[in-house]
Amino acid sequence: MNTTSLTGVFTNPVIAGMHPDPSICRVGEDYYLACSSFEYFPGVPLFHSRDLMHWEQIGNVLDRPSQLFLPTTMPSSAGVYAPTLRHYDGRFWLITTNVADGGGTMVFTAADPAGPWSDPIRVPGVGGIDPDLAWDAEGRCWCTYAGIEQVRIDPETGQTLGQPRRLWSGNPGAQAPEAPHLYQIGAWWYLLIAEGGTERGHAVSIARGPAPDGPFEPCPANPILTHRGTNRPIQNTGHADLVQAVDGSWWMVLLGVRPGGGTPGWHVLGRETFLTPVSWVDGWPVVGDLTPVMAAPSWPAHPVSAPAARDDFDSPQLGPCWISVRSRSEEHWSLTDRPGWLMLRARGKSLDDTDVMFVGRRQQHLSCRVRTLVDAAEGVGGLAVRLDESHHYEIEAGDGRVRVMARASSLRSTLATRQAPDEPIRLRIDVLASSDSWSPCREPDLLQMGIERADGTFDMLAQIDGRYLSTEVAGGFTGRVIGMYAAAGTIAFDWFDYEPAILAP
């Protein structure tokens, strides 16, 4: 997913697009990482790496309805919050919180991180988000969560053992102490947390104590990482996890964003996963400088194959990168009804609806080109860029027409309409990141929506300011997802292309 050059550097983010709240563990020479997924199904994408720089998605932890229920009454940016991924006693363990009604804190286990993962073990005695798991030398399991509170649990049954107690809540006055991770390193237990909120004030702080339940003393250099109040290209840095590499060196994965445009700066891809080195001085971690281009570790790189630009829908199952809004019921999609085509059957009437039939993938590049060949003879649907129900752009075919539509909060508009031929049609969206030249109101990017002819000529129907599909405008915790949807009847998609591009408006 990341590309390392022969000059000994790697680029950040190491996992681009909406992959926030990373949690990492190492087993032998292999590294595994899980992220939040919010209102999307399947949930909790899981990645594998051999070098910390190159990551490949190997599955999703929550890939069946018995593991994940996201009701249509649940708002976007609710759902599955920050997981913690650990390996203990020969098994992989993942704990997370589903903040939807009927959710709560849940533990999942697997022998193989690629799955299958167990059905949930519910932990009703843990009421906070961002739960962590840590085991001491006696095999006791400690669950620490946002607040920052802690309680012992039996992870096999979900039973809490004793009463929760407050540990340490970060720097005085800092809001949102969350994302705790507890580690035994040498003679000390270290408690790593995020604080300051997940926006521009985000930060990482740490404390240490003689036992997993403390007492904890804060690091005198807290916060050990923050980019608040700077003009660095990576912002909102926080929600970190530590891992020790095979060679004994230490590294930190964390979330950050890449804002673009003028003031206040808009990030459109969501919170992404970044990597930076950590050294130890006087028993405290010192975080290295976090930049878009970093010095590579000393070990050999293990690149992974780049995902194919085109999905021809010839496989019996959708790949792990494909996600849907809240659920993906079998009766509303098929790869077999028309072999070589993805068939979507409408349930919601538009992208405004919480139960829209949508299959998309995270936008992972600041500039990209997305295309699909759609047969709308039996319905209405097309290609969409989605942030949530109230913020989305789409180009839609059906009823003999092609339409470009946009919604930004309570404003809805049809921007262009064109007669469509009575045959499958190529729909295309070009996302063009703005240049580095700055002006106070400059947009982060432009989205060009149109029809592509067989010879590749692009008939652009509308160009839309991308700031309205940003977190700074829409709010929430997610990023853009680009994909296919059905608004009426049945829509067929022959293929879907996603290509990074170097484009400029």
- Pairing type for strands 104-110 and 121-122 reads antiparallel
Beta bridge partners, 35, equal none
DSSP code of residue 474: H
- 21 catalytic per annotation: yes
Distance between CA atoms of 255 and 183, rounded to whole angstroms?
19
Full DSSP string of 99-126: -STT-EEEEEEESSTTSPPPPPEE-TT-
Residue matched to tokens 């913020």 = 391
- Residues with Cβ within 8 Å of residue 243, at least 6 apart in sequence: 24, 25, 26, 31, 52, 250, 251, 252, 253
Q: Are 107 and 121 in contact (CB under 8 A)?
A: yes
Contact indicator for 373, 493 with CB cutoff of 8 Å: yes
For residue 504, give the amino acid letter: A
* Token pair of 234 as six digits: 């990576």
Q: Rounded CA gap, 319 and 311, in Å? A: 9
Out of 21, 149, 272, 430, pick the active-site residue: 21
Instruction: Give the count of alpha carbons within 13 A of 428, CB side only.
Output: 18
Q: Measure CA of the first residue to CA of the last residue in the chain; give whole Å.
A: 26
Q: Which candidate in 51, 63, 178, 394 is catalytic?
A: 178
Indicate if 178 belongs to the active site: yes
Tokens of 301: 């790189």
DSSP string, 369-401: EEEEEEE-TTEEEEEEEEEETTEEEEEEEETTE
CA count, 13 A, side-chain hemisphere, 313: 24
Q: Give the active site residues.
A: 21, 178
